[in-house]
């Protein structure tokens, strides 16, 4: 049998795309607030105001003619990331990890010329990666120096942590590890490995690639079930703060752990994907309904995180990744 019955999915508490759109995104995310998360530049400025740590902004390119000066802009930085401010799904993110003379080295190791970088920026400005093809701006960010403890968990790129925040409560989390198949990107549908994380401890629950359970990273061979995220509580609180920052009821927060700065907020997503359920081997619906049924909500992020840890943490016995 290749198809699951819809009743079985319902019993497993799996949130489907339609229900997510109608009952959660449509109901809890006010349309007028979308620009705060759809525009990474706005998110960054807002985060700084709320003392949420973010990667340092190196520069913004808003006009076509400014692209000519990019070379000067980035001379002082060996590594950086160029992102479209209104990009979605990780599209249009160019990660430069080093220099090769005048050329640039991409995260994948391939070398691209200055012209290629300029063309990429031109595309960003023209709106190729933005929703609806609207003109966009390119932001240049400091590249995260990711924590040594994640060495081997990701093939190039940065392993990032996606936490779903519902009404300010962290409900589910996963670590996304780039693979050779995903070209250094952390999107599950492109072949990145998703590692479900226990809300209480930040410990690995389950790891999947292309929907199949894996126990090792496909490129580095590192055992994935040994992962425990450091600074877990800080991360959850950082993510939870994003609710107060944006007032959006249902968001995906993407965090990274920087070697020097600790947890950083990379970006927010008002339409977080559903793969996180596959990575956790667990449906979102029971947890979302749990929050919806709560009569009294907690005010501070710290209280909300403590509550979520108690409510959604999984006992060790339920660890399925060790199978």
Give dist(CA 274, CA 261) in Å, integer: 29
* Residue 320 found at the interface with other proteins (CB under 8 A): yes
Which position among 126, 200, 223, 306 is part of the footprint of other proteins (CB under 8 A)? 126
DSSP secondary structure string for all residues of 294-311: -SS--SSHHHHHHHHHHH
Instruction: Give the residue with the Cβ less far from other proteins, 23 or 223.
Output: 23
Stretch that binds other proteins, among 69-77, 127-135, 169-177, 216-224 (CB under 8 A): 127-135
CB 110 within 8 A of CB 117: no
Sequence-distant (≥ 6) Cβ neighbours of residue 92 within 8 angstroms: 83, 84, 120, 123, 124, 128, 129
Per-residue interface string for the shown chain with other proteins, residues 91-110, x marking contact by CB under 8 A:
x-------------------
Burial class (CB in 10 A: 0-12, 13-18, 19+), 32: exposed
- x-or-dash string of contact with other proteins, 174-213, rule CB under 8 A: ----------------x--------------------xxx
Q: Is the dihedral of CA 304, 305, 306, 312 positive or negative?
A: positive
Candidates 5-13, 45-53, 104-112, 245-253: pick the segment binding other proteins (CB under 8 A): 5-13
Sole window of 96-104, 120-128, 243-251, 252-260 interacting with other proteins (rule: CB under 8 A): 120-128
The interface region with other proteins, picked from 52-60, 68-76, 126-134, 244-252 by CB under 8 A, is 126-134
Cβ 206 to other proteins, closest distance in Å? 8
Distance of CA 51 to the CA centre of its chain: 19
Q: Does 78 bind other proteins (CB under 8 A)?
A: no
What distances in angstroms separate CA 81 from CA 12, 243, 259, one per listed residue?
A: 39, 26, 17
Distance in Å, CB of 297 to other proteins, minimum:
17
Residue number, 132 or 260, with CB nearest to other proteins: 132
Residues 211-230 that bind other proteins (CB under 8 A): 211-213
Tally of CB atoms within 10 A around 117: 20
Q: Where are the alpha helices (DSSP H) in the chain?
A: 6-11, 17-19, 26-28, 34-38, 40-49, 70-73, 114-126, 232-246, 275-280, 285-293, 301-312
Which phi and psi (to 5°) does residue 216 adopt?
-125, 155
Considering only residues 282 through 301, tell me which ones interact with other proteins, judged by CB under 8 A: 282-283
**Of 21 and 228, which CB lies nearer to other proteins in the complex structure?**
21
Query: In terms of CB distance, is 102 or 212 closer to other proteins?
Result: 212
- Pick the binder of other proteins from 23, 57, 112, 223 (CB under 8 A): 23
111 makes contact with other proteins (CB under 8 A): no
Report, in this order, helix, strand and coil percent for the chain, each rounded to 5.
35, 25, 40
278 lies in the site for other proteins, by CB under 8 A: yes
Please give the residue ranges that form the binding site for other proteins (CB under 8 A).
2-6, 8-10, 12, 14, 16-19, 22-23, 27, 64, 91, 115, 118-119, 122-123, 126-128, 133, 190, 211-213, 277-278, 281-283, 320
């Amino acid at each position: 049998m290749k198809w699951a019955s819809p009743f079985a999915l319902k019993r497993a508490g799996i949130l489907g795309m339609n229900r997510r759109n109608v009952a959660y995104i449509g109901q809890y995310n006010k349309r007028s607030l979308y620009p705060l998360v759809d525009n990474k530049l706005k998110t960054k400025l807002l985060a700084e105001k709320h003392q949420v740590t973010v990667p340092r902004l190196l520069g913004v390119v808003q006009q076509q003619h400014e692209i000519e000066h990019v070379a000067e802009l980035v001379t002082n930085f060996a590594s950086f990331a160029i992102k479209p401010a209104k990009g979605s799904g990780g599209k249009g993110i160019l990660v430069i990890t080093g220099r090769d003379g005048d050329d640039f080295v991409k995260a994948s190791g391939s070398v691209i010329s200055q012209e290629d970088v300029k063309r990429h920026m031109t595309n960003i400005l023209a709106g190729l990666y933005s929703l609806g093809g609207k003109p966009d701006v390119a932001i240049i960010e400091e590249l995260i120096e990711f924590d040594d403890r994640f060495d081997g968990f990701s093939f190039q790129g940065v392993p990032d942590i996606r936490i779903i925040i519902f009404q300010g409560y962290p409900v589910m989390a996963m670590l996304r590890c780039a693979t050779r198949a995903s070209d250094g990107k952390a999107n599950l549908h492109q072949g990145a490995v998703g590692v479900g994380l226990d809300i209480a401890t930040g410990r690995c629950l389950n790891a999947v690639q292309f929907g199949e359970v894996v126990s090792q990273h496909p490129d580095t061979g590192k055992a994935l079930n040994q992962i425990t995220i450091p600074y877990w509580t800080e991360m959850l609180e950082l993510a939870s703060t994003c609710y107060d920052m944006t007032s959006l009821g249902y968001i995906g927060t993407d965090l990274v752990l920087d070697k020097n700065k600790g947890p950083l907020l990379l970006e927010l997503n008002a339409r977080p994907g559903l793969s996180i359920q596959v990575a956790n081997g667990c449906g979102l619906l029971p947890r979302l309904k749990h929050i919806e049924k709560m009569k009294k909500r907690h005010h501070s992020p710290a209280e909300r995180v403590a509550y979520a840890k108690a409510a959604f943490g999984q006992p060790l016995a339920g660890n399925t990744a060790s199978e």
